[in-house]
């Protein structure tokens, strides 16, 4: 038997192969869309053709069998056409309106909710966590599951919000996700300088690249047991873990001190206001697997205070900008601490230089 | 007493949201690798710590990217997790699939790996999680024969990704899927063989709603926009008003530029003053549409905090027409890569490199004229590096 030839640099399959015939026929000719109910969209083309979309939350981390299960549903209700969204939702693309309800019923019989459209909390964008990353200060999949269990009614539209709300989770400062521009972000943090394994370091790592990796120049060359090595100026370290990325002999994970921080008020869309970064709400909450009750409660509190106080079409950041940060801390009951005041480069930009407090 | 080996994880089988634990436990009945992954994850939940070692270098022949080595520090206890490499499969533009294609892909994956996937990774790839080093080559051979290829990783062009654009969105100002496919195919070498100073991400969004977060997450952000007037269908406006939409409160008062007028009969927009923020169009998609002179705004430099702090992309070309073969765009990309090759430092993103060198100097080097659209305001400090001065003859 001859071994099959491998092919290189062929690129991904052409997307046209995967487009529903109605989509292919109306490509670039869509006129408008409507949200028929939470999780259900209809897009109408210039010529009157319609394609229906049912959007449902997926756990992102899944088995091949779960993918096959989604395929079964797609074959049963929409000729096998499905897609995924940038927020890890699955979307079924239906020609036949009558299939919408049976599909939703089939999904919910299997514990999957339709939703994530319009003024809802869509699925959480997240990273690998303890499931698959060496850098992680927390888990992502478990944290997301715990948060979404609590916020599911906001996903399905059972509880309405003033506007859409986007949550993201990243398990370390590398932030493999748009955590820094989400309405609410949960970010895993380390809180202790790296511990250096001198022996491994001299075998594994290049001293100049370790030194160059530190944003705060907290790593200095030194000699340990006659060998070139490094030392960390612990007062200058902000636990970013970049040195660990460069050198495995500088582990930073520490069960006693790792945990999560909560951030608010970011957005990427240009609607009304320009894109915004998230800002710190809570500097530290403990890692408390399997359900992270402190983090879940903190997120839920912010969602509820926002839902009560924001005006229609205000994203979290827009709401806070209207009421002012003092009021945000007041309403949420979150303590304002020294850690909330920026002390990185150009920190002065965030000091209040007006008597206007709102 | 329960004899479950994963008492902590079992807690995550409860609740309204789909449970990855339930799903993976089922998979574990036939996949020893999935079983050991769950075992190791349970240990992490107990220890409150990761049990993955720093990635090692593994890959497939001829490729520098696409595979990320992952080794367990608890491999004795969980042999199936000992090697658990990631394979990034380049997703189709817009994440469109047919069930046939996904089934074929899953069958290949079950043959060689753990059966665990991410739909999808942060950059956009379809991620296969958990394969042994020895299975990498045969897995890749089967994938490539089923028309799939690897995405990027390391210091290369990462897999470009896009919103679904004209495939199902009336707001799309250019063909995001076509451009993404074209860029991916044009830069296969840059995608598969890392020789940049650091990673480089492309993200294509069809309009300023930016559903793929390109302004926050890509070194090179291509965001659709139009130059002419918002198209208005007055009949549909009336229908929105009749159906109870409060146009004054929800549209006029929310317009950030105060350029919408509504007298109860007709809606007027002062397009000169409009910032093309999308709000009014989002609220009344049946009545309002982007103009017809469409293209994209090109922005550069977004990144997460590591190392010098987070950045959003900033404007490089306020408006560019995007039609195949995209020569103007590709020439710009080439000039920027040449600049980066010369001036970039290892592990420095292009956004950081531009900060270090100065946007003005960067523009000169890549042959773009400075325009006011690139900044929020001119500088407010007098520390100008004048490049010339006169001397007495
Ligand atoms: S955010 Fe950090 S820990 Fe999480 S997947 Fe990315 S690099 Fe790993
Ligand atoms: S963790 Fe970050 S700040 Fe601390 S020494 Fe390492 S690179 Fe420097
Ligand atoms: S970015 Fe704009 S064009 Fe693309 S899907 Fe979102 S709204 Fe539609
Ligand atoms: S797009 Fe934005 S700025 Fe322009 S008219 Fe509409 S709401 Fe106003």
CB B262 within 8 A of CB B269: no
CATH topology classification for A125-191+255-350: Sulfite Reductase Hemoprotein; domain 1 (3.30.413)
CB B240 within 8 A of CB B284: yes
CATH topology classification for A15-109: Alpha-Beta Plaits (3.30.70)
ipTM: 0.95
Residues of chain A with CATH 3.30.70.20: 198-246
Task: Give the C-alpha separation, B50 to A129, whole Å.
Answer: 8
- Pick from A142, A175, A241, A251 the residue to mutate for probing ligand 1's pocket: most ligand atoms within 8 Å of its CB: A175
Task: Give the C-alpha separation, A84 to B118, whole Å.
Answer: 11
Asked if A177's CB is within 8 angstroms of B16's CB, the reply is no
- Would you state the CATH architecture of domain A198-246? 2-Layer Sandwich (3.30)
Task: Give the C-alpha separation, B315 to B310, whole Å.
Answer: 16
**SS3 at position B222:** strand
Residues of chain A with CATH 3.30.413.10: 125-191+255-350
- Mean pLDDT of the A177-191 span: 93
Closest approach of A229 to chain B, Cα-based (Å)? 20
pLDDT, averaged across chain B: 96
Residues A23-68: tens digit of each pLDDT: 999 999 999 999 999 999 999 999 999 999 999 999 999 999 999 9
- Residue A141: CB within 6 Å of ligand 2? no
**H helices within B16-130, ranges in order?**
20-28, 32-47, 99-112
Asked if A86's CB is within 8 angstroms of B213's CB, the reply is yes
Task: Give the C-alpha separation, B18 to A58, whole Å.
Answer: 7
Task: Give the C-alpha separation, A182 to A342, whole Å.
Answer: 19
- Residue B275: CB within 6 Å of ligand 4? yes
- Residue B257: CB within 6 Å of ligand 4? yes
Pairing of the two strands A227-232 and B67-68: unpaired
Task: Determine which residue's CA is closest to atom 3 belonging to ligand 2.
Answer: A237
Q: Which ligand is nearest to the CA of B232?
A: 4
Task: Give the C-alpha separation, A310 to A165, whole Å.
Answer: 12
CB A135 within 8 A of CB A239: no
Is the pLDDT reported for residue A317 higher than 50? yes
Locate the ligand 2 atom nearest the alpha carbon of residue A242 and give its number.
7
**SS3 at position A108:** helix
**Residue A310 CB burial class (10 angstroms; 0-12, 13-18, ≥19):** buried
- Pick from B93, B94, B164 the residue to mutate for probing ligand 3's pocket: most ligand atoms within 8 Å of its CB: B164
Apex A77 CA angle, A63 and A34, nearest 5: 100
Residues B213-261: tens digit of each pLDDT: 999 999 999 999 999 999 999 999 999 999 999 999 999 999 999 999 9
- Residue A316: CB within 6 Å of ligand 1? no
Is the pLDDT reported for residue B123 higher than 70? yes
The total of other beta-carbon atoms located within 10 Å of residue A221's CB is 12
**What residues of chain A lie within 8 A of the CB of B61, using their CB?**
6
- Residue A247: CB within 6 Å of ligand 2? no
Residues A318-348: tens digit of each pLDDT: 999 999 999 999 999 999 999 999 988 777 7
Task: Give the C-alpha separation, B113 to B313, whole Å.
Answer: 38
- Mean pLDDT of the A276-280 span: 96
Q: Give, rounded to a whole angstrom, the gap between the first and last alpha carbons of chain A.
A: 76
Residues of chain A with CATH 3.30.70.3340: 15-109
**SS3 at position A65:** helix
Task: Write the residue in B11, B163, B279 that is nearest to A290 by C-beta.
Answer: B11
Which has the closest alpha carbon to B128: B161, B156, B163, B102? Answer: B102
Task: Give the C-alpha separation, A309 to A162, whole Å.
Answer: 9
Residues B182-193: tens digit of each pLDDT: 999 999 999 999
Pairing of the two strands B294-300 and B220-226: antiparallel
Task: Write the residue in A27, A113, A142 that is nearest to B167 by C-beta.
Answer: A27
């Amino acid at each position: 038997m001859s071994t099959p030839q491998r092919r290189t640099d062929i690129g991904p399959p052409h997307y046209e192969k995967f487009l529903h015939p109605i989509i292919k026929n109306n490509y670039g000719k869509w006129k408008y869309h409507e949200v028929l109910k939470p999780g259900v969209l209809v897009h109408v083309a210039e010529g009157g053709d319609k394609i229906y979309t049912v959007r449902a939350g997926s756990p992102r981390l899944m088995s091949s069998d779960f993918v096959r299960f989604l395929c079964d549903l797609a074959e049963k209700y929409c000729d096998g056409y499905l897609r995924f969204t940038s927020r890890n939702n699955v979307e079924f693309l239906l020609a036949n309106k009558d299939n919408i309800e049976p599909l939703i019923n089939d999904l919910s019989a299997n514990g999957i909710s339709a939703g994530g459209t319009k003024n809802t909390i869509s699925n959480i964008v997240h990273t690998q966590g303890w499931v698959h990353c060496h850098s992680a200060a927390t888990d992502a999949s478990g944290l997301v599951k715990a948060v979404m269990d609590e916020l599911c009614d906001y996903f399905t539209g059972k509880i309405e919000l003033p506007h859409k709300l986007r949550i993201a989770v990243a398990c370390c400062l590398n932030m493999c996700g748009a955590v820094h521009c989400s309405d609410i972000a949960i970010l895993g943090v380390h809180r202790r300088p790296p511990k250096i394994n001198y022996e491994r370091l001299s075998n594994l790592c290049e001293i100049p690249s370790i030194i160059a990796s530190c944003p705060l120049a907290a790593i200095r060359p030194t000699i340990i047991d006659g060998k070139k090595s490094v030392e960390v100026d612990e007062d200058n370290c902000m636990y970013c873990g970049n040195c660990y990325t460069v050198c495995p002999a500088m582990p930073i994970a520490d069960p006693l001190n790792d945990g999560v921080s909560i951030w608010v008020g970011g957005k990427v869309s240009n609607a009304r206001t320009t894109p915004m970064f998230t800002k710190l709400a809570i500097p530290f909450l403990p890692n408390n697997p399997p359900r992270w009750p402190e983090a879940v409660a903190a997120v839920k509190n912010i969602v509820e205070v926002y839902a009560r106080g924001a005006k229609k079409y205000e994203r979290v950041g827009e709401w806070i900008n209207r009421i002012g940060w003092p009021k945000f801390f007041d309403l949420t009951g979150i303590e304002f601490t020294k850690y909330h005041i920026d002390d990185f480069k150009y920190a002065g930009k965030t000091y209040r230089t007006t008597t206007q407090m709102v | 007493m329960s004899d479950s080996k994963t008492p902590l994880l079992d807690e995550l089988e409860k609740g309204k949201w789909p449970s990855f634990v339930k799903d993976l436990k089922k998979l574990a009945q036939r996949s020893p690798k999935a079983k050991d992954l769950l075992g190791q994850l349970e240990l992490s939940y107990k220890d409150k710590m990761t049990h993955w070692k720093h990635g090692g270098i593994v890959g497939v022949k001829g490729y520098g990217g696409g595979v990320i080595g992952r080794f367990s520090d608890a491999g004795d206890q969980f042999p199936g997790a000992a090697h658990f490499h990631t394979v990034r499969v380049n997703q189709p533009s817009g994440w469109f699939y047919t069930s046939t294609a996904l089934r074929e892909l899953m069958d290949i994956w079950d043959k060689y790996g753990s059966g665990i996937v991410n739909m999808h990774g942060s950059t956009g790839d379809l991620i296969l999680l958990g394969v042994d080093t020895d299975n990498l080559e045969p897995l890749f051979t089967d994938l490539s024969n089923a028309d799939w290829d690897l995405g990027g990783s390391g210091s290369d062009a990462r897999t470009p990704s896009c919103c679904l654009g004209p495939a199902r969105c009336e707001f799309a100002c250019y063909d995001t899927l076509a451009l993404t496919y074209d860029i991916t195919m044009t830069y296969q070498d840059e995608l598969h063989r890392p020789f940049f100073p650091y990673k480089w991400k492309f993200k294509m969004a069809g309009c300023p709603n930016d559903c793929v977060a390109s302004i926050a997450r890509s070194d090179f952000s291509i965001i659709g926009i139009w130059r002419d007037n918002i198209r208005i269908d007055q009949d549909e406006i009336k229908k929105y008003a009749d159906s109870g939409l409060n146009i004054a409160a929800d549209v006029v008062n929310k317009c950030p530029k105060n350029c919408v007028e509504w007298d109860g009969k007709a809606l007027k927009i002062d397009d000169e003053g409009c910032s093309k923020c999308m709000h009014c169009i989002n609220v009344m998609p049946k009545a309002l549409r982007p103009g017809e002179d469409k293209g994209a705004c090109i922005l550069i430099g977004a990144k997460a905090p590591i190392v010098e702090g987070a950045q959003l992309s900033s404007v490089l070309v306020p408006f560019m027409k995007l039609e195949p073969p995209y020569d103007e765009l590709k020439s710009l990309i080439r000039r920027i890569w040449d600049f980066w090759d010369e001036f970039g430092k290892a592990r420095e993103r292009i956004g950081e490199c531009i900060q270090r060198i100065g946007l003005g100097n960067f523009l000169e080097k890549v042959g773009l004229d400075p325009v006011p659209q690139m900044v929020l305001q001119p500088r407010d400090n007098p520390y100008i590096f004048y490049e010339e001065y006169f001397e007495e003859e």
